[in-house]
Structure 1
């Protein structure tokens, strides 16, 4: 299943926590779980789109992100169903 966690800044970031977050994302990518991620340019936060077996695993993945685990960002998690011809969303 595909999920997204939307993050909102709670406190100023520092290089140490940013580097930890980047390493965490690299690890997700090496597990073929990372789909897309990045900061928002018009909102104080960012998002991570990723794959997980279920919502329980998705929450565990989001809460293990150093940005969230160390209290630098809050998050909301959502499940995404990709629109495609097979599910008739693009007809």
Structure 2
């Protein structure tokens, strides 16, 4: 199962310190690297404005992602807060998965929307 982890400044985030120098960031980097080396991390990194970051992780279940997040040094120490979102099925360049949407799909959905009186 794939999940998106959104990281935002927590109660112990230092406003006067850039993200990479926040407390426990080296430990966080090593922690995420270890999960990457195990094949669990698909994508990870900070936002361009350095106000937080995101991780896309592939694990067996919600309990595993919850355990991963709760053991992150930046979460345990209040540097980041987090939100977990289950990643739905869709497109993936990594797995070469595409639903091949086209104008036929648009026409079908328009018809459904009309029947539902949405449009």
TM class, shorter-length = 0.7 to 0.9
| Residue 76 of structure 1, CA deviation | 0.2
Number of equivalences: 91
Distance 1:84 1:17 in 2: 34
Larger Rg: 2
C-alpha distance 80-41 of structure 1, shift in aligned 2 (>3 A): same
Aligned to 2:5: 5
Aligned to 2:24: 17
Q: Structure 1: which 5+ runs fail to align?
A: none
Is this contact kept in 1: 2:23–2:79, CA < 8 A? Answer: no
Aligned to 2:83: 76
Higher relative contact order (CA 8 A, sep 6+): 1
Is this contact kept in 1: 2:42–2:57, CA < 8 A? Answer: yes
Is this contact kept in 1: 2:2–2:56, CA < 8 A? Answer: yes
| Residue 25 of structure 1, CA deviation | 1.0
* More strand as a share of residues: 1
How well do the aligned residues superpose, as a CA RMSD in angstroms?
2.4
| Runs of 4+ with deviation above 3 angstroms | 13-16, 84-90
TM-score by length of 1: 0.84
TM-score by length of 2: 0.66
| Residue 79 of structure 1, CA deviation | 0.7
Is this contact kept in 2: 1:83–1:90, CA < 8 A? Answer: no
